[in-house]
Amino acid sequence: MSEAAAQIQFFTSFQASDLKYLAEAAGNTLLISVIAISIGSVLGTLFGWALSVSKLVAFSLGSILDVFRSVPLIIQLLLFYNFFPIIGFPLDPFEAGVVVLIFYTSALVAQVARGGIEAVPDSLRRASRSLGMTYWQEMRYVVFPVGTRAVLPSWAGVALGVLKDSALVSVLGYVELLRASQILITRTQEPFIILAIVGAFYFALSYPIAKVTDRLEKRWQYD
């Protein structure tokens, strides 16, 4: 057997280049969650505002959003992924995942945003109106800053939840961190070490955000 042929190995153990592969996959996880969290938060804030404005909207929109919080995300993903081809728009896993995650995020954020708006005391809002602010000025300069501070921790909780839940998009076939770990496990047959490393990646993504919000929350208390 020639020397070159002897060097070919079909099953290699975990190696340095795999870390790079995992890092890229972590980038994909971050990408899909950042898109979902940013668009979902904006949408969710609008929903939350709508929920707080009228009882009729609160009931109708609220019960629709409730569905997203009462059905497992994995079922939502599979349902939407199989639904789009039916109406003639097959989506790729990334697109379907993003769409579902955006709605999921917005449903969770809507609840948080409504809590934030309701956390602003009525007297404060009336005071701002009696100073001559318009409704939108009141919203922009009084309700938004005060409400944001009240619900920042819950919002961070939602964001971290979505970051972790984005792992489920792997079921559709989008190669993010968890999917990458499955691919590597298939090759290396070392599930323990790879799952531990991937866990560390997730931890590295989410723990700093949790700590930063903790600190921000404490600092804002004395502001």
Partner 1 sequence: MPSTLAPLLVLIMDYNFHWRPVWRALPDLLDAALITLEVALLSMVIGIVIGMVLAIMRLYGNIAMRGFASVWIEAARNTPALLQFFFFGFGLGAFDLHLSPYMIVLVGLSFNNAGYLAENFRGGFQAIPVTQFNAARCLGMTSSQAFIRIVIPQVFKLVYHPMTNQMVWAVLISSLGMLVGFRELAGETQFMASNTFRLFEFFLAAAVIYYLIVKIILLVFYLISRRLFNY
**Interface residue with partner 1, options 99, 111, 165, 184 (CB under 8 A):** 165
71 makes contact with partner 1 (CB under 8 A): yes
Token pair 């997203």 in the structure block, residue: 68
**Interface residue with partner 1, options 59, 83, 135, 141 (CB under 8 A):** 83
167 makes contact with partner 1 (CB under 8 A): yes
Structure tokens at 40: 């979902």
Residue 175 Cβ vs partner 1, minimum distance, rounded to whole Å: 15
* Inter-residue contact 39 to 109 (CB < 8 Å): no
**Interface residue with partner 1, options 59, 141, 207, 220 (CB under 8 A):** 207
Contacts of 182 by beta carbon, 8 Å cutoff, 6+ apart = 170
Structure tokens at 66: 């409730």
Cβ proximity to partner 1, 35 vs 139, nearer residue: 35
Site for partner 1 in 28-67 (CB under 8 A): 67
* Binding segment (CB under 8 A) for partner 1, from list 17-25, 84-92, 113-121, 136-144: 84-92
91 makes contact with partner 1 (CB under 8 A): no
Cβ proximity to partner 1, 49 vs 103, nearer residue: 103
Cβ proximity to partner 1, 117 vs 160, nearer residue: 160
199 makes contact with partner 1 (CB under 8 A): yes
Binding pattern to partner 1, positions 123-162, x when CB under 8 A?
A: -------------------------------------x--
CA distance 109 to 171: 24
Query: Which parts of this chain interact with partner 1 (CB under 8 A)?
Result: 67, 70-76, 78-79, 82-83, 85-88, 160, 164-165, 167-168, 170-171, 178, 181-182, 185, 190-193, 195-196, 198-199, 202-203, 206-207, 210
